[in-house]
Amino acid sequence: MSNVRPLKATRAVREPGKRMRSRLLDAAVELFKDQGLAGVAVADIAAAAGAFPSQITYYFRTKEALFVEAACREVLYVARQAEEEAARAATGPDYNRVLVETVIGSPGLALFIEALSLTRRRQDLAPQVERTFERLHAQGDRAYAETKAARGWSGGDDPAVTARRFWTLALGVTLRDGATGATTQEAVDEMLALLRLGSGGGEN
């Protein structure tokens, strides 16, 4: 007799695993936002998720791998929220302003920057970050192109170029201003100025 599971049975086994993974990520990201990677123990995450420490090892192997996945998921959430809010903008400058104000200073971006630093030492975790950049750029490209077409904006750079420049600037501004003690508003103002400079004033 074949040992192959019916498709319905296989899905029934996988669904609880997906839910547990999601619970662990949800619990971890809140703890990491408050305390950073170094301040959180595996046991803390397990307790917050109503799980066992061994389940973290089973699903993610290490705390560092869990951190990187949680940070990548969180920055994608931030990007989606920013794109949804910016889609209502009436002008190109307004679109940029909403994007920047939503992204700069967000805990999700701060976590992602910490994940980038971690992957310099842990190259085995780099593929997760690379996939996240691909999704950030693709989602940003699509969102900007759709809004630009819907509003009838003329001029401006190619959407793909715009999306890449946005995230490059967001990471750079956050890193530098974080190191110099600049306020979130100062970081927002700086990034908006850089976007205007790069786009030659933006769309109408």
Mean pLDDT, the chain cut into blocks of 10 residues (204 residues total): 46 65 95 94 96 95 97 97 93 92 95 95 95 95 91 78 92 89 92 82 50
For residue 40, the model assigns a pLDDT of 96
State how far Cα 46 lies from the chain centre: 23
Our CA angle for 139, 115, 159, nearest 5°, is: 20
Residue 195 CB neighbour total at 10 angstroms? 21
End-to-end C-alpha distance for the chain, whole angstroms: 68
Q: Please say whether the beta carbons of 199 and 156 come within 8 A.
A: yes
Give the whole-number percent of the chain exceeding pLDDT 90: 71
CATH 1.10.357.10 location in the chain: 65-199
Count how many residues are written for the chain. 204
Give per-residue pLDDT as tens, 42-88.
999 999 999 999 999 999 999 999 999 999 999 999 999 999 999 99
Looking at 1.10.1060, 1.20.1300, 1.10.10, 1.10.287, the CATH number of the domain 15-60 comes to 1.10.10
Span(s) in the chain for CATH 1.10.10: 15-60
> What token pair was written down for 123?
């190259």
Tokens 């940003």 belong to which residue? 140
The answer to pTM > 0.75 is yes
| CATH topology (fold) of 65-199 | Tetracycline Repressor; domain 2 (1.10.357)
Tokens of 94: 């307004």
